[in-house]
Each structure stands twice: as structure tokens, then as C-alpha cells.
Amino acid sequence: MSNIPEDLKYVKSHEWVKIEGDVATIGITDFAQSELGDVVYVDLPEVGRVLQAGDIFGSVESVKTVSDVYAPVAGTVVEVNAALGAQSELINSDPYGAGFMLKLKVADASAADSLLDAAAYAAEIS
């Protein structure tokens, strides 16, 4: 069974988001990283890039495949996880912590209200 933290919101494309104030931290779910297998490379956007909800913001390359990663909410990139350049395996070992992908200054913090909660995401992947 995948690890699905209750305090996060999810989208069907297997990204998670945690909004604190006007900053959204985004990554891929434990389920997604387990389906991908060993992550070998992560492509992330430039700081300052403006994303709309649903935009592709990067990709995750594993030994099996390359998957696009989508923004669950709209906002401006304020930080990318530079550690993933040298340690892309953090996505496998700690997808909800050290393996986060980026942080956005969100356009509308309430946008996450319409995303899936942990129970709804669990139902999606079961």
C-alpha cells in the first residue's frame, strides 16, 4: 500500500501539493515513484517561471521511462529542489520530504480546495 499523507492534496496525474500561506510545495507521490522505479534524472523549470494549473513543469526519468510532471495549482516558481540534480533518488527515498520538486508562490491558495484529498487519491490508485 502506498504512503498517502493526510495533510496533502493530490491530482490524478500523481502529483502532491502542500500549501502553507501562499507557497505550494509540489512533488510526485509515493505511488508514482514506485511505478517509475529508480529515478535517474529530474528536469525542473527555472525560478520565475509562471505556471498554470495543469501545465507540464518538468519530467522525471527513471530506468524504465520518462514521465511529465504537472502543476496541480497555478503560480510562480520561487524555488526548485537543487539537491535533485545530484541526488535524483531522493524522489524514491523521500517523495514527500527531501524529494520535493519545487515551490510555487500560488496565485490562489484556495485552488487546492478542489484537488483530491488522501482518501480520494487512494481510491484513484486502488
Report CA-CA distances (Å) from 98 to 41, 82, 108, 125.
Answer: 15, 11, 25, 23
DSSP state string for the chain:
-----TTSEE-TTSEEEEEETTEEEEEE-HHHHHHH-SEEEEE-PPTT-EE-TT-EEEEEEESS-EEEEE-SS-EEEEEE-THHHH-TTHHHH-TTTTT--EEEEES-GGGGGGSB-HHHHHHHH-
The predicted structure's pLDDT at residue 1: 56
The predicted structure's pLDDT at residue 109: 82
- The whole-number mean pLDDT for each consecutive block of 10 residues of the chain, a chain of 126 residues, reads 90 97 97 96 98 97 96 98 97 98 94 94 96
Whole-prediction pTM: 0.96
Q: Which domains does the chain have, with CATH numbers?
A: 9-108 (2.40.50.100)
